[in-house]
Amino acid sequence: MTIETLRDAVEKSRVERGAASTALALSGPAQWSSLQALQPTPTARRRSVFDAPPPVREAFDMLRTRLLKITNDNAWTKIGVTAPRKGAGATYTALNLAMALSRAPDVRVMLVDLDLDDPGLAEALQVRGLRPLKDFLSGEVPAEDHFLRIGDSLIIGANTARPGRGKGGGTDGGADILHGRRARLALDETIARYRPTVVIYDLPPVRRGDAALGALSLVDGALLVAEAGATRTREIAECEQLILEHAHLIGVLLNKAEAIA
C-alpha cells in the first residue's frame, strides 16, 4: 500500500465514522507525547510512590511484578481496583499501582477513574479544570482533550464532577453511564489508540450496587482492597462473590495494616 493510498483510506474512514474513529489510524506510543503533561504537586507526590518511604515503594513494586505475571499469563489488559466501601484505599492503591507499573521497563499504563459518583483520583493528584469524565465516556470529548500524561509511560483519565441524577430521577447517574454502550466504546477506542500494556480502572465500591456492577463488566480481573480493622470477613466474602459474577478475582489486598517488627 502506498502512502497516497493509506491517506485516502484514512480520509474515507474519517468521513464515514467521524473524527474519533480516525484517531485509531494513528495509534501507539507516538500519540502519548501529544497529551498534556501533568506535573504532580508536592502534595500529590507525597500521596504516591513518587516520594513514598522505601517499604511502601517496595510493596507496590512487588504487587506490580505479580500483576504483570498474571496479566501476561492470562492475556489480560484491563484491571479494576475496588473495595467493599469508601475509605478502604482503592484510589490510593490504583494510583500507586499504576505509577509502579509505569516505572517498569517497556510498560505503558492507562489509569482511569470510573467511580463517577464519588471520584477521588483528581483530588489525589490535585487536578483542576477538567471537563467531567462523563463527557469523554459519552463520546462528546475525545481522549486527547481529556487525558493527561505523567512522564512517558502513564496516561490518566481523571474526573472532577459527578454526573448528577440518573434515569427516573435516581441518584445513580454513574451506573447509567457505565452500563451504556458508549462508555465501553469510548474506553475500547482509547485503548486501541494508545495501546497501553495495562489499564487500571479505579472502580466504585462493590457494595454501592449497580454502579459497581457496571464497572466490573468492563474489566478482565479485579483487585479487592480491604481495610485492616474495618472491613469484616463477611463483607470480603460477599464482595468476592459479586466480583466473580462479572470478572476474575485477582486477589484481596489488606490496606492500612500496621507493620510488624
Three-state secondary-structure class, residue 111: strand
pLDDT above 70 (res 107) = yes
- Transcribe 189-210 into DSSP letters: HHHHHH--SEEEEEPPPGGG-H
Distance (Å, whole) CA 16 – CA 12? 6
pLDDT value, residue 258? 56
| Residue 17 binned pLDDT confidence (cut-offs 50, 70, 90) | very low
**Cβ(224)–Cβ(251) below 8 Å:** yes
Average pLDDT of span 155-182: 75
| Cell numbers that stand for 34 in this block | 501529544
pLDDT higher than 80, residue 189: yes
Confidence of residue 203 (pLDDT cuts 50, 70, 90): very high
Has residue 21 got a pLDDT over 50? no
Confidence of residue 28 (pLDDT cuts 50, 70, 90): low
Q: Of 244 and 7, which is predicted with more confidence?
A: 244
For residue 76, pLDDT beyond 90: yes
Half-sphere exposure of 236 (CA within 13 A, CB side): 16
CA distance to 113, 162, 176, 252, per residue, from 123 (Å)? 11, 13, 23, 25
Q: What is the pLDDT of residues 92-101, one digit of tens each?
A: 999 999 999 9
By CB atoms closer than 10 A (0-12, 13-18, 19+), residue 104 is middle
Contact 90, 252 (CB under 8 A): no
